[in-house]
Amino acid sequence: MPVDEDPVATPAAHRRVPWVTGTLVVLLVAIWILLELNGGSTNLQVLIRAGAQENVLIRAGQWWRLITPIFLHFGLLHLAFNALALWFAGSAVETMFGHLRFLAIFFLAGIGGSLTELLFDPRPHLITVGASGAIFGLLGALVYLATLPFGRGEFRRSVLLAIALGLAYGFVPGSDINNYVHAGGLVTGLAVAATLGVPGYPGQETRRGLGLILVTLLVWLVISRLD
């Protein structure tokens, strides 16, 4: 069935190959293999030594644990789910935003998710790993795309459904999913994507201004909670 040409499919977007997304997927798999070869990816002590998030350790000064958990996964199923989600969401975001903006959204959303857990989760010894905060940040970037004129109704519904399912699954008993990380990553990704904007696409000034305000509010919230 013929469809209208996507008005945002600019020549620049057509030329972008999501090689950064592919590299990140390969990196996640490689690190998981290393964990398996050095005690197992489901061994909590192995994960802690590798850099898993444990809030009591972060508050003791190990701030790198806000970033390193992004690259660690608990078992094959956890890795497979996040790798697939990263590939599909990341490819779309990298194609539209470009390589550097994609990296900024991915890493800042991952850190935002970790910070949200640190600041709001009352469990100081909870062990958390996974790229899901960063991936939800990519979904936040897709939400931003859905606010632009080319974000058609079906696209918007698909993005919102993916977010709703991801957040809802976190409330299933025994799911071991941290909605603090997901929510923090989602909001951070949306804020960063709105602030950076889609390169080469006109009429984003108001959205970018709102994104900058949201980023400022998030920074203020983090500082106020850390005091």
| Mean pLDDT, each 10-residue run in order, the chain (227 residues) | 40 70 97 97 95 94 96 93 90 92 97 94 88 93 84 69 68 64 93 91 81 87 79
**Annotated active-site positions, please?**
132, 182
CA proximity to 207, closest of 134, 148, 131, 140? 148
What range does the domain containing 120 cover? 13-226
In a domain, 53, yes or no: yes
Q: What six digits make up the tokens of 157?
A: 């519904």
- Give dist(CA 178, CA 171) in Å, integer: 9
| Per-residue pLDDT, 4 | 36
In a domain, 3, yes or no: no
| Per-residue pLDDT, 220 | 87
CATH number, domain at 119? 1.20.1540.10
In a domain, 45, yes or no: yes
In a domain, 55, yes or no: yes
For 87, how many CA atoms within 13 A lie in the half-sphere containing its CB?
11
In a domain, 8, yes or no: no
For 129, how many CA atoms within 13 A lie in the half-sphere containing its CB?
25
Counted domains in the chain: 1
- Give dist(CA 201, CA 9) in Å, integer: 10
| Per-residue pLDDT, 33 | 98
Q: State pTM to two decimals.
A: 0.86
In a domain, 150, yes or no: yes
What Cα–Cα distance (Å) separates residue 156 from each residue in 95, 180, 214?
18, 23, 21
Contacts of 189 (CB under 8 A, 6+ apart): 105, 108, 109, 112, 134, 136, 137, 138, 139, 140, 141
In a domain, 5, yes or no: no
Q: What six digits make up the tokens of 67?
A: 């970033």
What Cα–Cα distance (Å) separates residue 193 from each residue in 23, 162, 186?
21, 18, 11
CA proximity to 135, closest of 171, 155, 168, 159? 159
In a domain, 4, yes or no: no
| Per-residue pLDDT, 14 | 52
